[in-house]
């Protein structure tokens, strides 16, 4: 299984991610072709920079007259328009960009770079980009819109993107999606995120870092601040992590294939302002697509804990999944002397058991574990794309050894995105997917 690890010790932004992709081997032409497909008045410029002794790639989005695209909307501070600025990562925000959205019903006049979510979605869908690239980019923008919708308690359709709808931010997101697709990564991981500190200029005054949208997007991910008084994680960087479903992890075990360093805009004293991308092959390939039917051994690790917080147990579960556990679950139990505890159960391949046991001992408060191996019987599994009235949805299909289908279910994340996009109940979308698959089987 091909995996990628984003080391966010200096945060993450769209332009840093883009540069790290190129530095790790993605052809710049792949990214430029993605930008060109959108019909934007923009192109990418690649250069080499030094960040605290680290030679790194730096990518700038330029307009047709070779001017930085970010300068095309630096007048934002003179208006009350709200926005998300991504491209000024760790530069002290000298342009005074704001960090929220403007609602369309209060927007008194239009700017050439102000775009609604539906406008951006239409740009991407009509671009001719391959479906996986479109899906990543659309998911990133939907996540941004949903984050602001929750923050302001307004319908997502009323959110009017300002700076995130600007040329450079759209180019960052779509080109990053194209680069990630080119790499053909099976699973993404990320380190704890250094969010920085200080404050930023918002529509109604100054607000502490992280920006509200960034904080919403980073929910459930491990974050910290090294004390640097800069905005290190931007909304676009956070949305891309979410769009790729990056799992929080310590550095995962892998056979390394490539590394890349993507530079932020400014130097940070005493700390390289770079995003490090490491690409490799994990020790144990795992794939739903075409997984063989058969019998195997399953390792089961268990322990009961009565002196750990829910947050600690959740973190341990994330660490175990990132390290290769097949599944981790927690069950309430009653222990001796009437104490209420949690039984932590980890499912894994026997080859992974030792490393996972070490993680439990290191991260938890337990003094002992139980381990056993049991027989595991699995169906042959595959992913079948199905067209529905709500768009394409992947169906997970399980077959017996003779090829007979005995189980099928729609992919939850696909249904969730479709339900949110069409403002329909999730259960209706899932039912529609099931019906579409049954009709597909009858036709075939």
The residues near 298 (Cβ < 8 Å, ≥ 6 apart) are: 326, 347, 348, 349, 350, 373, 374, 375, 376
Same domain, 340 and 410: no
For residue 336, is it within any domain?
Answer: yes
Query: What separation in angstroms does the CA of 358 have from each of 146, 155, 344, 352, 369?
Result: 39, 46, 14, 10, 10
The Cα 318–Cα 221 span in angstroms is 9
H/E segment holding residue 31: helix 28-37
Are 239 and 140 contacting, i.e. CB atoms less than 8 angstroms apart? yes
Residue where a domain terminates, one of 336, 351, 378: 378
| Token pair of 394 as six digits | 């992947």
Percent of the chain with pLDDT over 90: 45
| Token pair of 200 as six digits | 């930023």
The Cα 416–Cα 339 span in angstroms is 39
For residue 272, is it within any domain?
Answer: yes
pLDDT tens for each residue of 413-443? 889 988 998 999 999 999 999 999 998 887 6
* Full domain range(s) for residue 301: 294-378
pLDDT tens for each residue of 87-98? 344 443 333 333
pLDDT tens for each residue of 128-180? 899 889 999 999 988 888 887 777 776 666 665 554 447 788 899 999 999 99
| pTM tops 0.85 | no
The residues near 299 (Cβ < 8 Å, ≥ 6 apart) are: 347, 348, 349, 350, 352, 353, 371, 372, 373
For residues 293-318, average pLDDT? 88
Same domain, 19 and 69: yes
Query: What separation in angstroms does the CA of 223 have from each of 90, 193, 209, 220, 278?
Result: 17, 5, 12, 9, 20
The Cα 134–Cα 142 span in angstroms is 12
Q: How many domains does the chain have?
A: 3
For residue 410, is it within any domain?
Answer: yes
Radius of gyration of the chain (CA): 23
Question: What is the pLDDT at residue 148?
Answer: 76
Same domain, 188 and 276: yes
pLDDT tens for each residue of 188-200? 999 999 999 998 8
Same domain, 26 and 137: yes
Same domain, 299 and 438: no
- DSSP per residue, 109-169: S--TT-EEHHHHHHHHHTS---HHHHHHHHHHHHHHHHHHHHHHTS-GGGEEESSTTSHHH
Same domain, 221 and 194: yes
CATH classification at residue 411: 3.10.20.300
The Cα 416–Cα 424 span in angstroms is 10
| Token pair of 264 as six digits | 């932020």
Same domain, 386 and 242: no
Give the pLDDT band of residue 268 (cuts 50, 70, 90).
Answer: confident
Helix axes 167-183, 235-243, angle to 10 degrees: 30
For residue 288, is it within any domain?
Answer: no
Residue where a domain terminates, one of 260, 281, 302: 281
For residue 286, is it within any domain?
Answer: no
Same domain, 107 and 219: yes
Question: What is the pLDDT at residue 40?
Answer: 83
Same domain, 385 and 429: yes
Same domain, 384 and 373: no
Same domain, 185 and 67: yes
Q: Which residues pair with 116 in a beta bridge?
A: 160
Query: What separation in angstroms does the CA of 192 have from each of 81, 186, 217, 276, 288?
Result: 32, 20, 14, 13, 28
The Cα 381–Cα 375 span in angstroms is 18
Backbone angles phi, psi at 365, to 5 degrees: -100, 5
Half-sphere exposure of 272 (CA within 13 A, CB side): 19
CATH classification at residue 365: 3.30.70.1380
Same domain, 314 and 432: no
For residue 53, is it within any domain?
Answer: yes
Are 230 and 196 contacting, i.e. CB atoms less than 8 angstroms apart? yes
Residue where a domain terminates, one of 347, 378, 409: 378
The Cα 182–Cα 191 span in angstroms is 22
pLDDT tens for each residue of 74-128? 333 323 333 443 334 444 333 333 343 333 333 333 334 457 777 888 889 998 8
Q: Would you report the helix, strand and coil content of the chain in percent, each value rounded to 5?
A: 35, 30, 35
The Cα 56–Cα 272 span in angstroms is 10
For residue 289, is it within any domain?
Answer: no
Residue 360 has pLDDT above 90, yes or no: yes
Question: What is the pLDDT at residue 255?
Answer: 87
Percent of the chain with pLDDT over 70: 82
For residue 287, is it within any domain?
Answer: no
Residue 35 has pLDDT above 80, yes or no: yes
């Amino acid at each position: 299984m091909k995996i990628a690890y984003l080391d966010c010790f200096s945060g993450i932004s769209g332009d840093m991610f883009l540069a790290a992709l190129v530095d790790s081997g993605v052809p710049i032409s792949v990214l430029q072709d993605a930008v060109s497909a959108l019909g934007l008045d923009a192109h990418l410029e690649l250069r080499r920079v030094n960040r605290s002794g680290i030679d790194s790639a730096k990518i700038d989005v330029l307009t047709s007259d070779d001017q930085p695209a970010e300068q095309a909307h630096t007048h934002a501070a003179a208006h009350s328009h709200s926005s998300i600025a991504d491209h000024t990562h760790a530069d002290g925000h000298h342009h005074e960009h704001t960090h929220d959205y403007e609602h369309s019903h209060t927007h008194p006049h239009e700017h050439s770079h102000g775009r609604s979510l539906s406008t951006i979605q239409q740009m991407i869908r009509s671009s001719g980009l391959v479906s996986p690239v479109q899906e990543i980019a659309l998911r990133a923008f939907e996540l941004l819109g949903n984050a602001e919708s929750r923050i302001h308690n307004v319908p997502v359709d009323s959110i009017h993107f300002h700076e995130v709808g600007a040329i450079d931010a759209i180019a960052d997101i779509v080109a990053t999606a194209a680069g990630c697709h080119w790499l053909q990564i099976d699973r993404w991981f990320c380190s704890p995120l250094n969010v920085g500190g200080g404050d930023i200029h918002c529509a109604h005054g100054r607000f502490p870092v992280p920006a509200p949208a960034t904080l919403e997007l980073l929910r459930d991910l491990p974050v910290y601040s090294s004390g640097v008084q800069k905005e290190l994680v931007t909304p676009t960087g956070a949305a891309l992590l979410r769009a790729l479903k990056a799992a929080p992890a310590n550095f995962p075990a892998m056979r390394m294939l490539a590394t890349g360093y993507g530079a932020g805009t400014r130097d940070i004293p005493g700390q390289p302002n770079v995003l490090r991308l490491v690409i490799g092959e994990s020790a144990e390939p795992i794939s739903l697509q075409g997984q063989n039917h058969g019998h195997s051994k399953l390792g089961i690790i268990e322990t009961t804990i009565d002196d750990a917080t829910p947050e600690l147990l959740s973190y341990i579960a994330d660490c175990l999944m990132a390290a290769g556990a097949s599944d981790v679950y927690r069950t309430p139990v009653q222990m001796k002397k009437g104490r209420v505890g949690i039984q932590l159960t980890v499912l894994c391949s026997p080859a992974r058991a030792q490393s996972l046991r070490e993680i439990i001992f290191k991260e938890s408060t337990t003094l002992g574990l139980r381990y056993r191996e049991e027989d595991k019987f699995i169906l042959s599994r595959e992913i079948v794309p199905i067209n529905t009235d709500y768009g394409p949805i992947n169906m997970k299909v399980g077959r017996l050894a003779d090829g007979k289908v005995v189980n099928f279910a729609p992919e939850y994340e696909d249904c969730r995105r479709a339900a949110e996009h069409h403002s329909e109940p999730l259960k209706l979308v899932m039912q529609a997917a099931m019906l579409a698959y049954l009709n597909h089987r009858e036709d075939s």
